[in-house]
C-alpha cells in the first residue's frame, strides 16, 4: 500500500485590534481597525489588513507588518483561526471579505448623512428658533461633536458583521 504524504494546513490566529485617536476637529480624529493574522501573539511581524477611518475610509493589506498586539493604546480580541492558504492568496474569499470597496465607502457616507440630517431635524424641533442658525452650520456643529465617534461605532459594527460572515462561511473557525 502506497503511503500518502498529507500535511495539515497551517492556521493563523485572527485578532481584531481597535485603535482610535480623537481630535479637536472632524478631520483630525483618526482610527484604525487591524485584522491581525499571526501564528503566535509574540511574532515579530504579522499579516495585517487595516481599515483606516477619519477624514475618509479605506483599507490596505500589509504582509510584514510590525507586531501590533501589544501596543498600549489598542484593544484586541481573538476571533478564531483561519487556514493559512486564505492568507497567502490575495484573491481568497477571506481577503476579499475584508476589503473596503467603493460601495462600502458610499454606504458609510449615506448612513452618516442620514444620521446627521436626523440630528439637525431633531435639534431644530426641540429648541432652535428659525433663523438662529442655518442647517449647514448646525450640521457642521453636529459633525464636530459626533462624527468621529459615530464612524468608530459604525465600523466596529461592520467588523463584527464581517467576522460573523466569515464564521458563517466556515472561513473562520472559533
Taking phi over 0 as left and psi of -120 to 50 as alpha, with beta for the rest, 78 belongs to beta
Checking if the pLDDT of 13 tops 90, the result is yes
Q: Choose between 4 and 150: higher pLDDT.
A: 150
Interatomic CA distance for residues 70 and 167, integer angstroms: 25
Q: Choose between 29 and 166: higher pLDDT.
A: 166
In the numeric block, the cell 457642521 is attached to 140
Checking if the pLDDT of 32 tops 60, the result is yes
Checking if the pLDDT of 2 tops 70, the result is no
User: Where in the chain does DSSP place strands (E)?
Assistant: 11-21, 30-38, 45-53, 58-66, 75-83
Interatomic CA distance for residues 168 and 130, integer angstroms: 51
Residue-wise pLDDT for 108-145, tens only, equals: 999 999 999 999 988 887 776 666 788 888 888 888 88
E strand or H helix at 156, and its extent?
helix 135-168
Q: Which three cell numbers stand for residue 52?
A: 483606516
Q: Do 38 and 64 touch, CB atoms closer than 8 A?
A: no
Residue-wise pLDDT for 46-60, tens only, equals: 889 988 887 667 788
The packing angle between helices 102-127 and 135-168, to 10°, is 140
Give pLDDT, residue 25.
63
Most confident range (mean pLDDT) of 72-76, 101-105, 132-136, 140-144 is 101-105
CA dihedral 118, 122, 125, 126 (to 10 degrees): -170
Checking if the pLDDT of 82 tops 80, the result is yes
Give pLDDT, residue 3.
47
State percent of the chain over pLDDT 90.
Answer: 36
Q: Choose between 7 and 72: higher pLDDT.
A: 7
Residue 2 phi, psi (nearest 5)? -75, 145
Give pLDDT, residue 23.
67
Give pLDDT, residue 27.
61
Average pLDDT for 13-25: 80
Instruction: Output the average pLDDT for the chain.
Output: 84
Checking if the pLDDT of 72 tops 70, the result is no
Amino acid at each position: 500500500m502506497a503511503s500518502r504524504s498529507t500535511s495539515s494546513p497551517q492556521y493563523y490566529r485572527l485578532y481584531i485590534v481597535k485603535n482610535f485617536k480623537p481630535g479637536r476637529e472632524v478631520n483630525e480624529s483618526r482610527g484604525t481597525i487591524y485584522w491581525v493574522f499571526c501564528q503566535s501573539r509574540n511574532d515579530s511581524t504579522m499579516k495585517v489588513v487595516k481599515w483606516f477611518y477619519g477624514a475618509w475610509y479605506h483599507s490596505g493589506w500589509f504582509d510584514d507588518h510590525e507586531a501590533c498586539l501589544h501596543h498600549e493604546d489598542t484593544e484586541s480580541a481573538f476571533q478564531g483561526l483561519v487556514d493559512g492558504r486564505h492568507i497567502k492568496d490575495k484573491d481568497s474569499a477571506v481577503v476579499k471579505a475584508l476589503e473596503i470597496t467603493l460601495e462600502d465607502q458610499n454606504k458609510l457616507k449615506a448612513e452618516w448623512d442620514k444620521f446627521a440630517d436626523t440630528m439637525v431635524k431633531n435639534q431644530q424641533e426641540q429648541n432652535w428658533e428659525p433663523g438662529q442658525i442655518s442647517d449647514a452650520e448646525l450640521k457642521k456643529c453636529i459633525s464636530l461633536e459626533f462624527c468621529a465617534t459615530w464612524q468608530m461605532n459604525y465600523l466596529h459594527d461592520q467588523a463584527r458583521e464581517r467576522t460573523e460572515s466569515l464564521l458563517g462561511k466556515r472561513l473562520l473557525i472559533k
